[in-house]
Chain A
Amino acid sequence: MENAIISKEKLPELFTQIIAKNKLFAPVKENGFSLFKEVEKASEIDTSYVNTRVPPKSIIFKQTETLFHFTPGKKGNVEKIPEENEKIVIYAIRTCDAKAFALLDPVFIGDFEDPYYSARRRNSVLIGLSCNNPGPACFCTSFDDSPASIEYVDILFTDLGYKYYIEGNSEIGKKFLEDHKTLFDAASGEDQKSRDKVEREAIGKIKRTMKLTGIVEKLDGMFDHPIWYESARKCIGCGTCTYLCPTCHCFDMQDESTLNKGARIRVWDSCMYPEYTHHASGHNPRPARMNRVRNRVYHKFNYFPKNTEVFGCTGCSRCIEYCSANIDIIEIINKIGEVKE
């Protein structure tokens, strides 16, 4: 199907059709901020947001995943939990968050396939919503992306005021559009122009730039630079930056049991906690906040690009906005760039 438009009046009908056959996750506003939730009615959806507080990675890579149940003892057994095979549609995902899946996929569906992540990921359709009003610390353009990039989503919606411009990207996306085509009208050249104008304006609103040229190589020689002490002095050592990061994916495994039943669970972990690298011997190879802040930056801007040829950051700005000590990854990277070798 070619590019299309849908009027805003017809949108609830589209959601009703989606909900009939899929689990629909979309941004809702609760307690004064936005988060992705499974919605049952179109009216719950609220797209007046820059970015949700917790990124939608939590839909596919859950913060707490029960891997299996068990009963201990001689007659004990293990009860496997079947993978979730329901169809998932994530609506109004931002480009930066959708790109994060492109970074997480090689981790969870790479050499070793994670059945829980991969089942949900393969059954998901990502419907993007162009970001018309990026936040004050947003910087997706530094990675040559745009608030209206289409390459990471299956379908992209762009708000043109009283209607949405719709583009299909992947095969799944195009088929999805075909299935619901009765709700769409063909897009005109004018619509295409309006869409491009909206994108240009959104790009214009992004004022901050992370200077990334040569940063991977530069970091190779900066492991012992005093900049890490300076950056980490302010850090209070909470896990906000990593838990709100759409690309952070570290986890911990735990057995949680009572006397006669238990479960093995997988929960998000954070490299900002001392416990993360605490060895059983008592030794900690990353004993100070300096080591941990440095690791976060190296992982995203040195190790990750070396392994997968992309930066482990999408410019969503959450780690900057919600850091209570104003640790600003743009500033850190730009400062590193300025260091004379």
Chain B
Amino acid sequence: MVDQKELINAVKETVSREDVRYIVGYEEGTYGFETAPSFAYTSDDARKFIFNPLCTKNLVVYPILEEKLPLKREEQEDDRKIGIVVKGCDSRALVQILQEKGLKRENLVLIGIPCTGVVNTKKIKDKFPNQTEYTDVKEEKNHYVFSIEESVQKIPKKELLADVCKECEYPNPVIFDILIGEETEVETEPTYIEVREFEEKSLSEKWEYWKKHFENCIRCYACREACPLCYCKTCMADFLDPQWIRRSVDLSENTAWNIMRAFHLAGRCVSCGECERACPAEIPLMKLNKVLEKEIRELYDYTAGLDPEEKTLFGTFNPDDPEEFIM
């Protein structure tokens, strides 16, 4: 459990530093089981900060979303640091971006939070569909505890835990400046059981499965925008000349989009699950990402986003690299 006071104090202290512009963290959402990204510019703003198992969002997307608007005459660029509250997976996304030189470490302050897994908000909403008031969820002894209309609910953790957290190997931030609370013990090693089971299916079964999901894609690009690693200045999906993917929303183009999105994250995806959470059509995008993660681990013994000094998978080459899969 993260101590709320410790978190708020760390944010207050950090945001008061002269070289820090603002800090992104979490605050209570506007209803039900929602939490929202929160921006602290002053130590007063820090009082809203929370951390609980509902804090799902990967906030590393926000420094990437920073918009550099044209400066007014005599206006100086504000190059003070941005602070981010990061869980294990979020910090790995950041490491990957640092390796790719998308952001600079010296421009960031990281408040790390050892994570014990987040709630699958879709599941909790389905269980309590009429919850209008913001509900604070706490984790106690392998249960999620919260109150609904004054009656205390105690739900076993495994019932509501996000799938992506079930096989998490890195719940602790891999880089940070300040760590809040005790490190989480790592219990699991990924078995990729779901991926392996899926691989057993015949080609036509697999296609039927993906077809029914890709048909529902509305190409809103929430998966892309929510992903901290989708930060190309112009996405290949937005190109008109050449037009890699047509704007028509149909099975063919939707399939092209979803597969290309996953491929562009090969060796880069850190399994935070943000794409799948953001998808309004509930396409199981992590299933695609996990296949690539597993292949890359087996072929190259490589895991993305662990050490900022390390090179990216595609930035390295070894004459012994397996290449049987290349036609």
Interface residues in chain A, defined as those with a beta carbon under 8 Å from any beta carbon in chain B: 30-33, 35, 50, 53-54, 63-64, 133, 135-137, 205, 207-208, 233-234, 236-240, 242-244, 252, 254, 256, 265, 267-268, 270, 273, 275, 287-289, 320, 322, 324-326, 328, 330-331
Stretch in B5-13, B164-172, B187-195, B274-282 with 4+ CB within 8 Å of A: B274-282
Q: Could you tell me which residues of chain B, from 24 to 43, have a CB within 8 Å of some CB in chain A?
A: 29-32, 34-37, 39
Q: Which A residues touch B250, using CB under 8 A?
A: 64
Q: CA–CA, A33 to B125, complex, Å? A: 13
Q: Which A residues touch B132, using CB under 8 A?
A: 136-137, 207-208
- A267→B248 contact, CB < 8 A: yes
Residue of A nearest to B227 (CB): A236
Q: Could you tell me which residues of chain B, from 221 to 254, have a CB within 8 Å of some CB in chain A?
A: 221-222, 224-226, 238, 243, 246-250
Nearest 4 A-B pairs (CB), nearest first?
A326-B36, A238-B222, A324-B278, A238-B225
**One of B37, B69, B218, B281 near A325 (C-beta < 8 A):** B37
A-B contact pairs, 23 of them (CB 8 A): A32-B282, A53-B280, A53-B281, A63-B249, A133-B129, A135-B130, A136-B31, A136-B132, A236-B61, A236-B222, A236-B278, A238-B221, A239-B221, A240-B222, A243-B220, A243-B280, A244-B218, A267-B248, A267-B249, A288-B69, A324-B226, A324-B274, A326-B35
Report the minimum CB–CB distance from B212 to chain A (whole Å): 6
- B248→A289 contact, CB < 8 A: no
- B216→A30 contact, CB < 8 A: yes
Q: Which B residues touch A137, using CB under 8 A?
A: 31-32, 132
Q: A238-B225, A238-B278 are in contact. Are A287 and B67 (CB under 8 A)?
A: yes
- A289→B216 contact, CB < 8 A: no
Q: A240-B220, A243-B220, A254-B247 are in contact. Are A328 and B281 (CB under 8 A)?
A: no
* Residue B65 is within 8 A (CB to CB) of chain A in the complex: yes
- A256→B222 contact, CB < 8 A: no
The proximity string for B residues 120-135 relative to A, scoring 1 for CB distances below 8 Å and 0 otherwise, is: 0000010001111000
Q: Helix, strand, loop or mixed for chain B's interface?
A: loop
Residue of B nearest to A329 (CB): B30
Interface residues in chain B, defined as those with a beta carbon under 8 Å from any beta carbon in chain A: 29-32, 34-37, 39, 57, 61, 65, 67, 69, 125, 129-132, 212-213, 216, 218-222, 224-226, 238, 243, 246-250, 274, 277-278, 280-282
Q: Which B residues touch A275, using CB under 8 A?
A: 238
Q: Which B residues touch A205, using CB under 8 A?
A: 130
- A236→B30 contact, CB < 8 A: no
Q: CA–CA, A265 to B129, complex, Å? A: 39
Residue of A nearest to B278 (CB): A324
Q: CA–CA, A239 to B223, complex, Å? A: 10
Report the minimum CB–CB distance from A337 to chain B (whole Å): 15
Q: CA–CA, A332 to B281, complex, Å? A: 25
Q: Which A residues touch B282, using CB under 8 A?
A: 31-33, 53
- B65→A30 contact, CB < 8 A: no
Report the minimum CB–CB distance from B229 to chain A (whole Å): 13
- A330→B30 contact, CB < 8 A: yes
Q: CA–CA, A230 to B218, complex, Å? A: 28
Q: Which B residues touch A207, using CB under 8 A?
A: 132
Report the minimum CB–CB distance from B237 to chain A (whole Å): 11
Q: Which B residues touch A53, using CB under 8 A?
A: 216, 280-282
Q: A64-B250, A136-B132 are in contact. Are A236 and B31 (CB under 8 A)?
A: no
Report the minimum CB–CB distance from B147 to chain A (whole Å): 16
Q: CA–CA, A316 to B255, complex, Å? A: 29
Name 8 extra pairs, CB < 8 A, besides A64-B248, A205-B130. Answer: A53-B281, A234-B36, A238-B221, A239-B221, A243-B220, A254-B246, A254-B248, A288-B67
- B247→A240 contact, CB < 8 A: no
Q: Which A residues touch B281, using CB under 8 A?
A: 53-54
Report the minimum CB–CB distance from A51 to chain B (whole Å): 12
Q: Which A residues touch B219, using CB under 8 A?
A: 239
Residue of A nearest to B35 (CB): A326
**One of A50, A233, A237 near B225 (C-beta < 8 A):** A237
Q: Which A residues touch B65, using CB under 8 A?
A: 236-237, 289
Q: Which A residues touch B278, using CB under 8 A?
A: 236, 238, 240, 324
